[in-house]
Amino acid sequence: MGLVGYGGLARSLQPLLEPYGCPISVYDPWITERYLRNAGVAPCSLEQVLSESDVIFVLAIPTSRNKAMITRRHLEMIRPGRVFVLVSRAHVVDFDALTDLVLGGRFKAAIDVFPEEPLPQDHPIRRAESAVLSAHRAGSVKDDLRLIGRMVTDDLDAMNQGLPPRRMQNAEPELVFRL
């Protein structure tokens, strides 16, 4: 398994992948190799994750530095028949190249984020037999919206008591400038 990005989504996915007993490789330039090793994953280059993984999960958050960072050249590193799962933001991948390669049968894809949402009815990726497309709706599930609301109010209560927020992701000054 290969993960591009090791933020909250990837850390939540990791326990679901571990029962399969396969190594998990991670590319995340914002996290140290020591941190990744301590988390039980193997730090790798983007090229290694793409060329060596059977299933690649793209979980990176969009920043000013990673727009279309996964280029056609990178996508061509994915071995035939492998699976590319795009669930964070379409911003990080050259979506036209992804569409071409999936339509050409190079690899399979599961996609729930698109450059334009909703995805236009005539977009070519809709014709790809080796792609599973899903509307990016996780944040719209009623129970999840309630959970998010509870997390926000828990953090606001903590902040009102002079404590740091713990439930939601903190805006860290070192990272804000990269977003």
Q: Same structural domain for residues 46 and 71?
A: yes
Burial call 5-17: b when 16+ CB within 10 Å, e when fewer: bbbebbeebbeeb
Res 61: pLDDT: 84
Q: Same structural domain for residues 118 and 147?
A: no
Res 170: pLDDT: 61
Structural domain boundaries enclosing 11: 2-136
DSSP string of 89-104, one letter each residue: -GGGB-HHHHHHHHHT
> pLDDT per residue over 21-30, tens digit each?
999 999 999 9
Q: What is the rounded distance in angstroms from the CA atom of residue 160 to the CA atom of residue 52?
A: 48
Spatial CB neighbours of 27, under 8 Å, sequence gap ≥ 6? 2, 3, 4, 5, 43, 44, 45, 46, 48, 49
Q: Same structural domain for residues 33 and 115?
A: yes
Res 63: pLDDT: 83
Say what the pTM is. 0.80
Instruction: Check which CATH number belongs to the domain holding 124 and give it.
Output: 3.40.50.720
Q: Same structural domain for residues 124 and 52?
A: yes
Res 28: pLDDT: 96
Q: Same structural domain for residues 27 and 53?
A: yes
- Give the domain-ending residue among 104, 120, 136: 136
Q: Same structural domain for residues 161 and 81?
A: no
Res 136: pLDDT: 67
Res 169: pLDDT: 62
What is the pLDDT tens value at each position of the chain, 179 positions in all?
Answer: 999 999 988 999 999 999 999 999 999 999 999 999 999 999 999 999 999 999 999 999 888 888 889 999 999 999 999 999 999 888 999 999 999 999 999 999 999 999 998 899 999 999 999 999 987 665 566 676 777 788 788 888 888 888 887 777 665 656 555 54
Q: Same structural domain for residues 128 and 146?
A: no
